[in-house]
Structures are given as C-alpha cells and as structure tokens.
Amino acid sequence: MTALELNQMRLYFVTYNVATKFPEEDPRQMLGINSNNPEGLPDLFVVGLQEVKSQPHNMVIDMLFEDPWTKIFKESLKTCDYIKIRTQRLQGLVLNVFCLRKHLTRLRFIEATYTRTGLGGMWGNKGAVSVRFNMYGVKICIVNTHLTPHDHLCNDRIADYNTILREHAFQVPETQHVLYHDYIFWIGDLNFRLNGEDLTAELIDKLVAKNQLKLLLSRDQLNIAKESGDAFAEFSEADIAFPPTYKFEFSSQEYDLKRRPSWTDRILYKVNADVYEDVKLEAVKSNYRSHPSYVGSDHKPVSAEFTIKIRPDYEDHGVEFQPVSAWIVDQQNSVGYTLRGDFIPSPGDWIGLFHDGFSSLDEYLVYEYVGRGKPGLETFSVATNNTITERIYFSDSALKAPGMYRLVYVCQSGDIVGVLGMSPPFPGHRRT
C-alpha cells in the first residue's frame, strides 16, 4: 500500500552550502536515489542551496536562468520522473521544489518570495527564499535561509530570524504569514555555532572523534536560542547524531581547524496539527543525517525525510482534457477540456504544450491563454453536474517537429500558479 493510500506523503529535504563551487560530484547519494529503497521514492524533493555562485551585477540573469546546481539536481531527478515545480533565488540562495509527475495536477497556489537581511535588509547576500503551495488539501511552506556568520554574532542571527518572520509575506489568503501554514519546514545554513571560549577548534575535533556529540550540542547556539524563546522556539528538530557539518578543508573529510567546527546546516519543522476536523496533522521525521563523502565544499550536505498526514479526499476543482489521438506538424490543432467542480478560469490561465518527458513547468514549448469569449476559444457544450466543456486552438506554428507531447493547464493569477490538468501523452507527426 502506498503512502498516499495511507493518507500520507513523503518529503525529502537537502540543504547544502556549496561555497560558490560548481557541481562536480554526483548528487544522487545525498538525494538517496542511488540505493534500493523499500519504501519507494518520496513524493516531493526539496533542495535548499546557499552560496551558489552569483554576480551581483547579473542578478536579473540569475533570476531568469537556471544555475548549474539546479540543472544537475533536475537532471538527476528527471530519471525518476520528478518535475521541478518552482525555483526561487536571491543571489547565492536557491530553493528548488520537485514533485513526482503523478502529483502534478494536485498542486495549487504555488507562490515564491524572498527577504533580504544582509546590510540591514539592503543586500541579498544573506536572507531567505521560500516556496509555499497547497497539495491534497494541506498548506505547506518551505523556507531556505542563510543567516549571519561568525561565532560571536549569535544575536544577529536571532535578529535575522525575527526579521524574516516579520517581513516574509505571501499573497495567498489565510497563509500570508509563514507560521500560518499547516506544515512549515525551515532549512539552510543557519550559521549557529558553539558557545564557550573553552571550546577550541582542537578540543571540538577531539570530542567529535570520541563521539561526545551530546556534550557539544548542549553548547549549540540554536538549541540555546530555542530554549530561551529568542529564535526558532516554534520549531522542532530531529535528534542530531552526525558530526558538525562545518568547517572542512576543501576536497577533504578533515576539519579546517582555523574555524571551530559547528552544526551550521539544519532542517527544522513545525506542524499546526489541529486545524481540520477530519484529520489530526503530524510529521514523522526520519533519516536526519549528513553526507560526509561530498568534499567539494567546506560544508557537508544535510538531508532529512518526513512523512506527513494529508487529506487525499479533499474535494478540489480541476481540468480534464479530452483524448487527443494526434496533432499535425505545421497545422492548426485544438483540444477540448472539461472544467470540473466550481472552477472558473481567470484571465491569466494558460494551456502549455510540453514534450512528454518535460522535467520543469518552465519547459513549455508554446502556450495559449484561455478565457471565455477570447479569439480562438469556443465553448461548445454545457454539461451537467456543474461542468463546462471548452475547446482551445493552437496556431499552425505551435507544433514544429514529430514526437510525443502533453498539454498542461496552468491556473495563474499574478505570480501565484496551480496545475489543474495534464493530458495523457499524444503523438505529433507530419501529414502523410
């Protein structure tokens, strides 16, 4: 029985400070997809990166084009039928969310935003990026952050956290605040260090070698801030059973003792459990670990898995495409689709033509806007049970080469999108 049949979904998180290096190592081990997994693949992958190489004068280009790290994660996950649903970037901060293709049409209200905290909010070298969405009746928010560095600046990190909570805002009603979501996952290079001048880098290294992690974690600034209520008091974290993930010599698994080793790279979570009458929400954590075999950065990647309760029977509107036998290259083609439930198209909605094996919502070949009364759109029947069937036409230049294709209906209002329908694959061929 699948997790979905058990009213559950599995989410896999990775956070990695890549130290401005380009990807040269296979990411599949940190993603957990290079080994036999008896539980099958997770439903969602989330990858939060920090210090991705960025040129401040090319910030517009950074926002418009995929960085090499996003590309390598996307290519690795594409082989397992994952689709990238959103990337949000702020200079060196990058957050990517991927979902299995079979879940794509259950995504609603996808929205991304960012908050700068560098130089008092003037600069984006530090801050937060986030993606929020609804899926199977629950609201999920993921925040990736890079907070102020250096051992003695713990108060600045606490201020960063509170600034992000205060200023990070969404447009989706009822979830304008990060903490208003059902599930919140906060990941990243939080940069919290270890308290105490008596803890020299050499002593920390010796205690790690003796596996005295609990002693060191009692000095962890993040744990102390949580207990005092100064920062992250709302969040929980799985028990840490791995060595500090910073700071390593490049191309090595040995600590660079010019800095004190510490657990800068973290994955935290919060559940608002009692918001629905039909289910008590929960997140079960597992496999919180680091990946020491990666040596391209002075940090080690950290990953964690969560199994969350969802509401798969939550009634939702959507779009169902009529069967498509084939489209003809260099000819006008059309498709009919049915609006289910109480869905009413908005002026920003569009239907995109994709290759069958597309791996990102950004990979549409062409698209056409939908909306009653627009040229090229014909409403040809009104069905029972509050459904409406419409037909949309694509120009003769839309399909340019033979192959297998899909159509995807995207509901869009400003920067907020949802995927309401996807056609089965169909062939495109030249007229014989």
pLDDT of residue 39: 64
Helix orientation angle between 154-167 and 221-228, rounded to the nearest 10 degrees: 60
Query: What is the spatial distance between Cα 252 and Cα 7, in angstroms, rounded to a whole number?
Result: 43
Q: What SS3 class is residue 354?
A: strand
- Torsion angle in degrees (nearest 10) through CA of 44, 81, 86, 136: -50
Q: What one-character DSSP code corresponds to residue 424? A: P
The pLDDT of residue 374: 46
User: What local confidence, expressed as pLDDT, does residue 296 receive?
Assistant: 96
192 burial (CB, 10 Å; 0-12 / 13-18 / 19+) is buried
How far, CA to CA in Å, does 431 sit from each of 1, 142, 327, 331, 399? 45, 47, 9, 9, 12
Q: How many residues does the chain have?
A: 432
**C-alpha span between 9 and 25 (Å, rounded):** 29
Q: What is the pLDDT along the chain (432 residues), one digit of tens a residue?
A: 466 556 999 999 999 999 999 999 999 999 998 766 656 899 999 999 999 998 655 555 555 678 999 999 999 999 999 999 999 999 999 999 999 999 999 999 999 999 999 656 444 578 999 999 999 999 999 999 999 999 999 999 999 999 999 999 999 999 999 999 999 999 999 999 999 989 999 999 999 999 999 999 999 999 999 999 999 999 999 999 999 999 999 999 999 999 999 999 999 999 999 999 989 999 999 999 999 999 999 999 999 999 999 998 887 789 999 999 899 999 999 999 998 877 888 889 999 999 999 999 999 999 999 964 444 444 444 455 556 788 999 999 999 999 999 999 999 999 999 999 999 999 999 987
Which tokens sit at 64?
């418009």
**Non-local CB neighbours of 330 within 8 Å, separated by 6+ positions:** 396, 397, 399, 400, 430, 431
Structure tokens at 425: 């694959």
User: Is the pTM here over 0.85, yes or no?
Assistant: yes
Q: Buried b / exposed e across 207-220, counting CB within 10 Å, b at 16+?
A: bbeeeebeebbebb
C-alpha separations of 305 from 9, 11, 289, 291, 381 in Å: 11, 6, 10, 14, 46
Task: Provide the pLDDT for residue 377.
Answer: 47
**Cis, peptide link before residue 247, omega less than 30° from 0:** yes
Q: What confidence score (pLDDT) does residue 58 get?
A: 57
Work out whether strand 93-100 and strand 377-382 pair parallel, antiparallel, or are unpaired.
unpaired
pLDDT of residue 317: 86
> Domains of the chain by range and CATH?
4-309 (3.60.10.10), 318-429 (2.60.40.2840)
Could you tell me the two tokens for 358? 């597309």
